[in-house]
Amino acid sequence: MADRFIGTSWKMNLTSTQAAEYCGRLLPLVEDVTDRRLFVLPPFTAIWAVRQKLAGTQIAWGAQHVHPEESGAHTGDVSAPMLADLGCSYVEVGHSERRRDYGETDALVTAQVAAIQRHGMTAMVCVGERERAEIGPVMEGIGRQLSALSGADRSRLIVAYEPVWAIGAGARAADPEWIGWVHQAIEAWFRSSRAGSEADVPIIYGGSVDGASAPAILAQPGVSGLFVGRSALDPEEFARIAHLNPVSAGR
């Protein structure tokens, strides 16, 4: 599990007051976790509160979105230098909900990743298929999404595989074996792409992860960690997942 990533995006949940309370509850529960990288991505309004609680600890923090420009007349948006000034380590881009609700494109993701990396942060890029299909068609679509990363600095890049059909209330995590296939296919895409550096890119899984599904997912080849959604809104559950070790689904 060394250098595995276990993180969460809170989406549009938790006020700054609630975020501070959450971190206060979480910290003593994970103080013994030193062999994996923990992170939380709060809403913009709560980043300052999370920084106050987590500064100097083993838990990193970040943001769920960024505008590609440095500054300017972009009402309601937040830039990479603003996030870097708040001590963010990671910035999530390309999530299917952003693509669905705001029409965000692969071209935008390319610009966002460049802005994030210019300011020393790691871009966490979400990819995934909308509907269940065979591995060939799925990887054709994911390959198009990955092409947006051709010029990125791989040492400051994480890919989050999040099948859209596995996201949301009532959904279930993808089958662990399927997750392993896709993660290995993504690894193969990076090996075959000559653009960018030769650094390995961590590939984490997100999509209805919980304490029951996590061990078998972590046991799959190519899985570098977990990106937990609604289960992690409970700090006790997030701490439990942070402590889990890989276990084969057949055991």
> Using one digit for the tens of pLDDT, what is the confidence trace for 152-208?
999 999 999 999 999 988 889 999 999 999 999 999 999 998 655 567 999 999 999
pLDDT at 47 over 60: yes
In a domain, 149, yes or no: yes
| Backbone phi, psi, residue 246, to 5° | -60, 135
pLDDT at 68 over 50: yes
In a domain, 180, yes or no: no
In a domain, 53, yes or no: yes
In a domain, 76, yes or no: yes
Instruction: Kindly state the tokens that stand for 134.
Output: 């065979």
Average pLDDT, the chain: 95
Active-site annotation, residues: 95, 162
Enter the pTM of the model: 0.95
In a domain, 51, yes or no: yes
Q: What is the pLDDT of residue 197?
A: 56
In a domain, 248, yes or no: no
What is the domain-level CATH number for residue 189? 3.20.20.70
Range of the domain at 8: 4-175+185-243
> Using one digit for the tens of pLDDT, what is the confidence trace for 10-45?
999 999 999 999 999 999 999 999 999 999 999 999
The domain tally of the chain equals: 1
Q: What is the pLDDT of residue 95?
A: 97
> Using one digit for the tens of pLDDT, what is the confidence trace for 81-131?
999 999 999 999 999 999 999 999 999 999 999 999 999 999 999 999 999
